[in-house]
Structure 1
């Protein structure tokens, strides 16, 4: 509890853009968001008042950080599971807890648990040797998808293997892996839900996510042309998984839509890129909803604020050209309705440095405006 305000203190491990935007949501609720950042130059550390510098793999730093927090949560899944368990054993309220977060940290454990729950998953197997991949591919055909069991994001840790030789080279690196079939998908979807310790759940409209080179470049809300029956099935699947896994906070369920139905691709137990559109596009943003959930507040309204909402990620472009401030001037002059969120990151080609959200009545025009805005901020042209 913050003695100055009489309101809770939430600690978020990680100082990236998710913590930065959660801090913005905390301000409106009168809360104090404490951030554990690895550097004072991290995106959230640049704007939050209560910043502690330390590493998420340092148990002593985590213990010190958690002192005085009413709840501790995360902007990434990379905190060692044994450290989270140690905090829980010492009475720290950690949301999501270690028993749930494990299934977002370890893809092998996730696939095992989802299969036990009867959730739709790709055909897969654990990999101990290159022969395991070859044997798996004998049943599915090449190519196959290999995934690092821990640590992958934004396309990192995901490998398309087309030959036994490629499998041998990958296994030789020593990376713990699983192998999955290459799913013949129509498109990718995401179902975002929040769950409180009390067990209340709130589901956002199902969205379409558009990937390029393993990175999400667009999110379309609601998913265009998605049959109501399938949308409701996706929402119910996410709610069922959040309940069965004991998630507290946000759960993003990344889905493949196929001719045969839905298949679960990945899980994330934190605010998620597929939910950034909710800041302007939903009555309650995913960041406020996550805070409500971890503090056991009643959930907020998840309905859309407009018939069509598109979020486009802004990626770092080539060096040179006009500065980002001048780009903002030009963008706002051309499209006053575009809403820009910059993350305070150093620009590197291909790195997510922000996003743009556009709301409107027609998905085609809204999508074109969002793409144009993101391109202008990236390229200055």
Structure 2
């Protein structure tokens, strides 16, 4: 408890953009998020008042961090499960707990458990050797999608394989893998829900996520032309996963929409890129909702703030040219309604350095505005 305010202290392990935006939401609740960052230059460390520098793999650093927190949560999934269990055993409150978070850390555990529970998924197999991978490809048809069981994100750790030769080269690297069929997609969706220790759940409108080179580039809220029964099914699926896995906090369920229905692709148990639109586009942002959930506060309304909301990720461009500050001047003069979020990161080509959000009544025009704004900030040209 912060003796100055009488309010609980939430600590977030990880100092990236998710912690930075969670800190911004904490301010409105009278709090200053406590952050365990790897560097003083991390995005959240640049803005939060209460920052400890340390490694998320260092149990002693985690223990010292947790001593000044009422609850500990995460902006990534990379804290070792053994460390999380050790903190819980010592009496610290950690959400989500290791029993839930393991399914966002390890794709083999996730696929195994969700299959046991009956949630829909692509056909898949554990890869213990080349024969497993090649046999699966021959069975379901090439190409197939191999995935590293741990550590992949933004397209990393995902390996499309066209034939047995490519499979052999990947197996030779020694990377622990699962393999999945390549699904014929209608599109990709995401269902974001929150769950509190009390068991309250809240679901956001289902969104469409647009991917390019394995990276989410746009999020459309609500998913255009999504049948109401399918939207409800996606929300119920995500709520079911949250309950069955014992998630506390936010859960993002990335989904494949196919002609036959929905399939679970990935899970994330934290604020998620597919929910950044909620800062301006929903009555309660995902970041405030995550804080409410881990503190066991009643959850907030999730309704849209406008009929159409689009978030476009901002990627770093080539060096040189107009400064980002000057580009902001021009963008705001051109479209005063655009909202920009920069993450305090050094710009590198292809690096996710921020996002923009546009709201309106017509999805086509709102999407065009968001894409145009992101292109301008990325390239310095309309």
TM-score bucket (shorter structure): over 0.9
Give runs of ≥4 in structure 1 deviating > 2 Å. Answer: none
Question: How far apart, CA to CA, are the structure 1 residues paired with 2:219 and 2:281?
Answer: 11
Q: Is 1:288 aligned to residue 288 of structure 2?
A: yes
The equivalent residue for 1:112 is 112
User: SS of the residue aligned with 1:336?
Assistant: coil
Q: Which residue of 2 aligns with 1:22?
A: 22
Matched, 1:260 2:260: yes
Corresponding residue of 1:365? 365
- Give, in whole Å, the separation in 1 of the partners of 2:103 and 2:33: 26
RMSD: 0.5
Q: Which residue of 2 aligns with 1:302?
A: 302
Q: Residue 333 of structure 2 aligns with which residue?
A: 333
Where structure 1 has 5 or more consecutive residues not aligned to the other structure, the ranges are: none
Distance 1:56 1:174 in 2: 25
- What is the alpha-carbon distance in structure 2 between the residues aligned to residue 160 and residue 152 of structure 1? 14
Q: Deviations over 1:246-268 (max 9, x none)?
A: 00000000000000000000000
CA distance in structure 1 between the aligned counterparts of 2:98 and 2:173, rounded to whole angstroms: 28
> Which residue does 2:82 correspond to in 1?
82
Q: What TM-score do the two structures reach when normalised by structure 1?
A: 1.00
DSSP 3-state at the match of 2:2: coil
Matched, 1:243 2:224: no
Match of 2:205 in 1: 205
SS where residue 34 of structure 2 aligns?
strand
State the alpha-carbon separation in 2 of the partners of residues 242 and 362 from structure 1.
32
Q: How does 1:221-240 map to 2 (within 5 A)?
A: 221-240=221-240
Query: TM-score, normalized by length of structure 2?
Result: 0.99
Check conservation: 1:8, 1:32, Cα contact below 8 A. no
Please state how far the C-alpha of 1:32 moved relative to its aligned partner. 2.5
Cα offset for 1:172? Answer: 1.1
The number of residue pairs the alignment matches comes to: 381
Q: 1:170, 1:343 → 2: CA distance?
A: 34
| Pairing 1:151–2:151 present | yes
The answer to whether the Cα contact below 8 Å between 1:72 and 1:93 also exists between their aligned partners in 2 is yes
For residues 189-217 of structure 1, the C-alpha deviation after alignment (integer angstroms, 9 at most, x for no partner) is 00000000000000000000000000000
Give the corresponding residue for 1:40: 40
Cα distance in structure 2, aligned partners of 1:134 and 1:174: 16
Give the secondary structure class of the aligned counterpart of 2:111: helix
Shift of residue 181 of structure 1? 0.3
Q: How far apart, CA to CA, are the structure 1 residues paired with 2:68 and 2:74?
A: 16
